[in-house]
């Protein structure tokens, strides 16, 4: 094993530093890729694993004004090294989050929900079917008239995604639901499929289908009530992607943010020529780099997500909590196929 637990001295607190006690940190697929050496961000070794989590501020340096002891913080960027009990970090590496949201929501906030929010907001302007109060994603709808007018409203836009049971997938379902956007969710067939379908429907999924169903004529039934998607979200690659693309509207966009199948994205030439689909990519780490000077857009995203969490419209993904000393079991479990539960280290 490349990993072991180590006791280190807590470094001295500098004027702009913050001493935090980590509370909980998940194991994400990207963390495994970092360990395997296949991720574009590789920290110099020896390194502390983990890029996400939540901690509590214990002490702040004398120049720190934005944080105080007792505040909850999450990493402002990837590569913080969150699998630890204590840490001293420069204040700009941390973002304050409200401490009145559930611990597991805060621990899993900075990667998956942010990715879900951005891929839904940044590539297509999706119109809701029924405008919901306080929509998460700014709706492309005029203000409602004061006099009720009866019209038959269009069904609103839809999104199709694979790996719908992933952390990002679960967040997409909930944010889309809060924004009045329909979701078609693709999962792999598995022994406990009915249970998974039930769980995703409870989160607000409109349709849940298997990879096999994507190729079948019964997809037509879905499109009787739900418009063809303008946006496809791909974190698998391979066959799954090609099948999803077939259901995309002309001029629609497919955004790839992961490659769980480790296979390339294959696109039929006809999809480009006759349907003019757009293929884009998204990496949350890059988005944060690009918006480092634009704290407004970071703050408004975090604000919206925390409001959804408070309203019960966005929950943490299914989690298994594991004490830090059992990190080996947690790492192994996070690499097993069909585990629909995120391993969270309790620190």
For residue 302, give every residue at least 6 positions away whose Cβ sits within 8 Å of its Cβ, in sequence order, or none.
95, 97, 109, 114
What does residue 240 show for φ and ψ, rounded to 5 degrees? -50, -40
Question: Residue 77, Cβ neighbours under 10 Å: how many?
Answer: 17
Dihedral angle at the C-alpha atoms of 210, 212, 218, 220, nearest 10 degrees? 90
What does residue 137 show for φ and ψ, rounded to 5 degrees? -100, 130
Task: Give the per-residue pLDDT at 343.
Answer: 94
**CA of 63: how far to CAs of 12, 19, 126, 131, 238, in Å?**
15, 13, 43, 45, 51
Residue spans of alpha helices (H) in 204-294: 219-225, 239-246, 269-273, 284-290
To which H or E segment does residue 319 belong? strand 319-323
Do you know the residue count of the chain? 347
What is the DSSP annotation of 181-225?
Answer: -EEEEEE---TTHHHHHHHHHHHT-SEEEETTGGGSTTHHHHHHH
Judged by DSSP in three states, 65 sits in coil
CA dihedral over 205, 120, 317, 41, signed as positive or negative = positive
Task: Give the per-residue pLDDT at 336.
Answer: 85
Do residues 163 and 311 lie in contact, with contact meaning Cβ atoms separated by under 8 Å?
A: no
Crossing angle (nearest 10°) for helices 327-334 and 29-36: 100
Gap between the Cα atoms of 30 and 111, Å rounded:
10
Gap between the Cα atoms of 299 and 114, Å rounded:
11
Do residues 50 and 345 lie in contact, with contact meaning Cβ atoms separated by under 8 Å?
A: yes
Task: Give the per-residue pLDDT at 129.
Answer: 79
Task: Give the per-residue pLDDT at 154.
Answer: 64
Task: Give the per-residue pLDDT at 147.
Answer: 59
Judged by DSSP in three states, 341 sits in coil
Gap between the Cα atoms of 81 and 48, Å rounded:
5
Q: What is the pLDDT along the chain (347 residues), one digit of tens a residue?
A: 678 899 889 899 999 999 999 999 999 988 998 988 888 888 888 899 999 999 999 999 999 999 999 999 999 988 899 999 999 999 999 999 999 999 999 999 999 999 999 999 999 999 887 645 445 565 444 444 455 555 555 678 999 999 999 999 999 999 999 999 999 999 999 988 999 999 999 999 999 999 999 999 999 999 998 999 999 999 999 999 999 999 999 999 999 999 888 899 999 999 999 999 999 999 999 999 999 899 899 999 999 999 999 999 999 998 999 999 999 999 999 888 777 789 999 99
Task: Give the per-residue pLDDT at 233.
Answer: 98
Choosing from 27, 39, 71, 197, the catalytic residue is 39
pTM of structure: 0.90
Exposure letters 320-343 (e unless 16+ CB within 10 A, then b)? eebebeebeebbebbeeeeebebb
Task: Give the per-residue pLDDT at 90.
Answer: 96
- What domains sit in the chain, N to C, each tagged with a CATH number? 17-108+316-346 (3.90.180.10), 112-131+155-284 (3.40.50.720)
Residue 257 annotated among the catalytic residues of the structure: no
């Amino acid at each position: 094993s490349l990993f072991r637990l180590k006791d280190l001295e807590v470094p001295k607190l500098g004027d702009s530093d913050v001493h935090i006690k980590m509370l909980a940190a998940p194991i994400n697929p990207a963390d495994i890729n970092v360990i395997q050496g296949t991720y574009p961000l590789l920290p110099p070794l020896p390194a502390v694993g983990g890029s996400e989590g939540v901690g509590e501020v214990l002490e702040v340096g004398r120049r720190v004004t934005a944080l105080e002891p007792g505040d909850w913080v999450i990493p402002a960027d990837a590569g913080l090294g969150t699998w630890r009990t204590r840490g001293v970090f420069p204040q700009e590496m941390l973002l304050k989050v409200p401490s009145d949201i559930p611990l597991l929501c805060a621990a899993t906030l900075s990667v998956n929900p942010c990715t879900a929010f951005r891929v839904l907001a940044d590539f297509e302007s999706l119109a809701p079917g029924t405008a919901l109060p306080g929509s998460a994603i700014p709706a492309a709808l005029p203000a409602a008239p004061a006099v009720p007018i009866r019209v038959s409203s269009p069904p609103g836009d839809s999104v199709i995604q694979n790996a719908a049971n992933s952390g990002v997938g679960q967040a997409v379902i909930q944010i889309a639901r809060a924004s009045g956007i329909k979701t078609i969710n693709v999962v792999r067939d598995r022994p406990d499929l009915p249970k998974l379908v039930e769980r995703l429907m409870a989160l607000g999924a409109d349709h849940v289908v298997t990879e096999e169903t994507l190729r079948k004529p019964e997809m037509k039934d879905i499109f009787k009530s739900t418009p063809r998607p303008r946006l496809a979200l791909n974190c698998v690659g391979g066959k799954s992607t090609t099948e999803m693309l077939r259901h995309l509207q002309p001029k629609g966009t497919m955004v790839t943010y992961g490659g769980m199948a480790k296979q390339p994205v294959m696109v039929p030439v006809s999809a480009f020529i006759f349907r003019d689909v757009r293929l884009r990519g998204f990496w949350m780490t890059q988005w944060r780099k690009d918006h480092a000077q634009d704290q407004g857009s970071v703050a408004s995203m975090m604000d919206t997500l925390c409001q959804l969490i408070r309203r019960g419209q966005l929950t943490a993904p299914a989690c298994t909590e594991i004490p830090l000393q059992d990190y080996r079991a947690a790492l192994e479990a996070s690499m097993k196929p069909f585990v629909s539960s995120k391993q969270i280290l309790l620190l």
